A and B are shown apart, each in its own frame.
Chain A
Amino acid sequence: MRPADNMEKLIKKLRYKVSAETHDRVLDNVLQALEKKEKQKLSATAPYMAPNIWRIIMKSPITKIAAAAVIIVAVLIGLNQIISSTPAFAEIVRPLLTARTATFKITIGGQGVPSQEFDGMFMEPCRMRQTTPGGGTVIVDLEQGRIVTLIPQAKQAIVLEVTNAPENPGDLNFFQYIRMRILNAQPLDDESVEFLGEQQIDGQLAIGYHVRKPGLDGTIWANSETKMPIRIEVVDEPMVVTMSNIVFDVELKESLFSLDVPDGYNVTTLRRDLSEPTEEDFIESLRIWAENMDGKFPSKMDRSAVNEFVQYRRERMKEEGIEPSIDDVTKLQQTIIDMTHGFPFVEALPAHSDWHYAGRDIKFGDAEKVVFWYRPEGTETYRVIYGDLSVKDVELENLPK
């Protein structure tokens, strides 16, 4: 007898392939049907009512004299609409959402977030190249599961092998990040889009919109004449990502996004798991943090906590007179990568999970003190993580005050 799972595997092998010619034929037929539909739509809207109204007005002897006035009023109304109307928001964001390629500058800032600036290039489906002012280059290609960083001055290459990448990990591709934020906010109603009027932005006369909707808090400025976006700012507390100097659909060579490391570079390989972090991953992150920070936990639970870690490690090395070798730096980088994997678990918790972080002054190993608690979806009790990183289910009334 075949076990059921073997049977399922066998059925999955019942796959059919189609010749390229057949695909072309079907695709042609479908596109022809689409064109036909579009033509029908055009012809349906073409014979609009205006000529009939015109004929009725002009045929009526009573309205003949009034006709001129009617036309003038109609023209004025039309003119007024043109003057007072602003280009639809959809028109402004369309180049961003449809671009195959783009070049731009990204500035990252915000309270407690280290300021960063780099020039970026994007190529579909989801590739990005960014160049830092120091001359370093990062190429992100998540379809290939790789992020390659090249530091020409040091002839150093860092290859980050990414596993479990979600379809659109925005943090690794800021162009896609901004694009997806705007796309996910669609459809936008009048209440969520505020027209900011006209002003000079980056030396150009620009019109602006501010969009505020769950999942998107952003401002978009577009050239008043061309309606092409010139500056896009997305707020993702505490981080603010700004895209400027934007040029869409420029010719970019594929080689710019090559993941091959040039000859003569020292290659360091690191690994990053991009799967959705679980509670267990979060606890592991706390453990790595505490073990590398002399038994302390993060002073606060947000993205800026990483800076605290890096700063502390750097100072410790300085104090100990350690001049880090490439191996030391590689190890530290891998530690940071592993340590940061679990923290997004907290970011992803919904507001009603009622999470609290209280680890600031608690020592690693203290089984009496509570570091973190939250209420998982659909439960009445709370998950409580203690200083020794043990976890218990606790009733609301027994939580720390």
Chain B
Amino acid sequence: MLEERLLLWKFKHGSKDAFRVIYEKYADDLLTLAANLLNDTVGAEDVVQDVFISFVQSVAKFRLRGSLKGYLATCVANRARDYIRGKKRRRIVALSEAEQMTSNVKTPVQLVINSEELQKLNHAMTRLPYEQREAIVLRLHGELKFRQIAELQSVSTKTVLSRYRYGLDKLRLILNGEVRQ
């Protein structure tokens, strides 16, 4: 945490090297977070890039409360929602199937372990209601506390806990074939 604050301080005072360290430290985690939220690796790259651009542009006014990773993870979650909303709008306007296809072709963002089991899980994740998927992904990949997720989702911590538990239960049912595919 103190290391983060030192890096931030340096970056605020003009050190691009400090920013590079911040980027290298968190980029993979944030991409993982975004890709799991969106199930769209191209979109994940865009979201993470937007989050970092927004971060560097506003760093002068930025005051760190809590961890930097937590802050960036929250930004990714917000951007991911915007991205999904934008994507829905684009679809309504007149979307060619080609654009949707690009989300699933081989991209520079790939699963670290591409086993059959994880592919199934990945697919099962897309079948969860977004709030449940978001609660699970922010908790397990963003390492946010339930309280922080509750703030982000504007619901009570209890509701987030329920979403998290229901989400895990549903994933288990899907993977065990108890929910029709």
Contact = CB atoms under 8 A, between A and B. Distances in A.
A21 B112 contact: no
Given A15-B32, A18-B45, A98-B13, A183 B121 contact: no
Contacts of A180: 2, 6
A253 interface: no
5 shortest A-B CB distances, which residue pairs?
A22-B108, A34-B56, A33-B53, A30-B52, A168-B2
A11 B58 CA distance: 33
Contact of B35 (A11, A16, A21): A16
A48 to B, nearest CB: 19
A27 B20 CA distance: 8
Given A7-B171, A94-B13, A16 B20 contact: no
A348 interface: no
Interface residues on A, range: 35 or more
A126 B2 CA distance: 12
B41 interface: yes
Q: B interface, by DSSP: helix, strand, loop or mixed? A: helix
A31 interface: yes
A14 B122 contact: yes
A12 interface: yes
Contacts of B9: 97, 183, 186
Interface in B121-159: 121-122, 125, 136-137, 140-141
6 contacts: A13-B118, A15-B32, A16-B110, A30-B56, A37-B56, A125-B3
Given A30-B53, A34-B56, A183-B6, A7 B172 contact: yes
Nearest to A5: B168
B57 interface: yes
A98 B111 contact: no
Given A10-B117, A11-B140, A168 B44 contact: no
B108 A19 contact: yes
A167 B171 contact: no
B48 interface: yes
A18 B109 CA distance: 5
